[in-house]
Structure 1
């Protein structure tokens, strides 16, 4: 092929991948700029915006990995860890221990008389914990709204709840997530260790931080907003007072709508227990029908956008790693409403 023909082909391909259609929808199937998503995937859908992921989008995300560097976004959890007050405490109880196996002698195969002359034993624990603690992803059935207690896609708690958990939109419906990730370090942009109590992150804050980072949120990106709260987690999040001082900061309804409707954010998360700032402004509450957590209602119930909470964003911020491949899988426990005590990964 001649040089002239090569240039023509290159220019044509450039136009194909940078034209108005791509600029507006980023190749999304159902996302509409100015509207976002909503209940657009069919009456039985339980996945929401994550339906947008494709083999091509996952491959594109993995191509962001250039250094092989891995960031663990999970926070360690135990019985002393900070949590939102609407969730139950947790406990890890030793079920079997080497000492217990030897003294109990209830399993013949573990005794010397049964042939276990080498003294082999084991540790086994029972875990009692909430499905919304530490690093977590809220499933689309986590929040209900209205007198009919409906959640995403019009499913109702009276029909799809139960004694053994949700039977629609439980955590097993969340597919493995591989997507482009974007960190918006608002605390770093504001030059503070952590945002103050009840600070509402505005659209202007997000735009300013993105400009400073020289990064764009493109349709299909997982967006993680840093408030600095997780810097106080330590080994197990036991300093409830210090964490609580900053845990009420977060995005407001306008910022959430901007990220979803204008930028096409696939999922939204932060380093706090609830993503959104509290208490909400009266106008935000009323916009969602009088809700104490309007951002959750907007994202989970109305848009079908999953919420990520208590992500450890400190190493990403320290390395100024603002763009990365984001990978998440959940606990496959049927009936649970959230993936809990997770370890999402960011790769560069």
Structure 2
């Protein structure tokens, strides 16, 4: 009985410590053991990014002591690797110096119109999916169930349309300035990159954090390194090499641990999906047979945004595990993801 009493007291103490850490970090709605959920009102489109405050952003800035910046974005072009469910891109020269001068459709570009110096320009037309390269999944990206609901109970039939989503598009994602933590699982497992289909477990995350002497605190952006991005090169053109590792990632248990026990603000990785695949049956069946149960849990249930294809190689090379994290999205109304982004980590 005394042992049980001790265990209960210890559990209560851990809960209070977690709650105190959340309060210190300015967390208002996070509950240890539960995470977040649909707690900011029936019209909320922001999710747990509501937890960011002036105080939390200022605390993140205090992590910068050297002024060194790490570009976390991967360069992208029409040949780059992508998840099979996303469309390819085309980047087309829409106006070129040759075209401007031969088309002669704008009088001010001609010598007769006063352009004696021969000034011209380059511009492009871009046709691309809104989920390519370094990206952040908006809360409307994933739908679930026969009613096609997404975060906060919004439904595709009501809030979709011919010109994109009208709820939870990327314009609802505020500028993100937060403490960042990189968990280098590949180095912890002593491999260049985790093999495809490898499930990163809670034990892997705990072991890597211990080895790095860093922890995830409530309100942290968490980036998990599998090593996949080391094979990206100039533009991610080696599809076979990337595909051999791209399906490594966290499972549902690890996602829940990071959100419900550690209070992670965003989860991301250096792969196209964050979660490992294919999902094991118990994870899939937790959401009625979903092929991406971690996405359903994070985006639909918890309002936690997902970051994919982050370039973590510079951080890994310098063994930088804690940093200030900065991200703003391209504010294209109706899109479901911030695409081809360049997040920055600073130490």
The two structures have a TM-score, normalised by structure 1, of 0.94
2:19–2:31 Cα contact (<8 Å) kept? no
Per-residue CA deviation, residues 293-346 of structure 1 (Å, 9 max, x unaligned), is 000000000000000000000000000000000000000000000000000000
The answer to whether the aligner puts 1:23 opposite 2:21 as a matched pair is yes
- Aligned position for 1:90: 89
Per-residue CA deviation, residues 64-109 of structure 1 (Å, 9 max, x unaligned), is 0000000000000000000001111100001111111111111110
**Residues in 2 aligned to 1:314 and 1:34: alpha-carbon distance in whole angstroms:** 32
2:21–2:218 Cα contact (<8 Å) kept? no
2:74–2:310 Cα contact (<8 Å) kept? yes
The CA RMSD over aligned residues, in Å, is 1.0
**Residues in 2 aligned to 1:104 and 1:149: alpha-carbon distance in whole angstroms:** 48
Distance 1:171 1:20, change over 3 A: closer
| 1:307-322 mapped onto 2 (5 Å cutoff) | 307-322=306-321
**Residues in 2 aligned to 1:344 and 1:288: alpha-carbon distance in whole angstroms:** 31
How much does 1:24 deviate?
5.4
The two structures have a TM-score, normalised by structure 2, of 0.94
2:72–2:345 Cα contact (<8 Å) kept? yes
- Aligned position for 1:170: 169
2:26–2:53 Cα contact (<8 Å) kept? no
**Residues in 2 aligned to 1:122 and 1:310: alpha-carbon distance in whole angstroms:** 32
The 3-state SS of whatever aligns with 1:60 is helix
**Residues in 2 aligned to 1:192 and 1:86: alpha-carbon distance in whole angstroms:** 28
- Aligned position for 2:73: 74
**Residues in 2 aligned to 1:331 and 1:24: alpha-carbon distance in whole angstroms:** 30
Distance 1:171 1:43, change over 3 A: same
**Residues in 2 aligned to 1:106 and 1:166: alpha-carbon distance in whole angstroms:** 36
The 3-state SS of whatever aligns with 2:145 is coil
**Residues in 2 aligned to 1:21 and 1:300: alpha-carbon distance in whole angstroms:** 23
**Residues in 2 aligned to 1:19 and 1:45: alpha-carbon distance in whole angstroms:** 29
| 1:24-173 mapped onto 2 (5 Å cutoff) | 25=23, 26-173=25-172
**Residues in 1 aligned to 2:311 and 2:337: alpha-carbon distance in whole angstroms:** 18
- Aligned position for 2:345: 346
**Residues in 2 aligned to 1:215 and 1:143: alpha-carbon distance in whole angstroms:** 32
The answer to whether the aligner puts 1:209 opposite 2:208 as a matched pair is yes
Distance 1:82 1:20, change over 3 A: closer
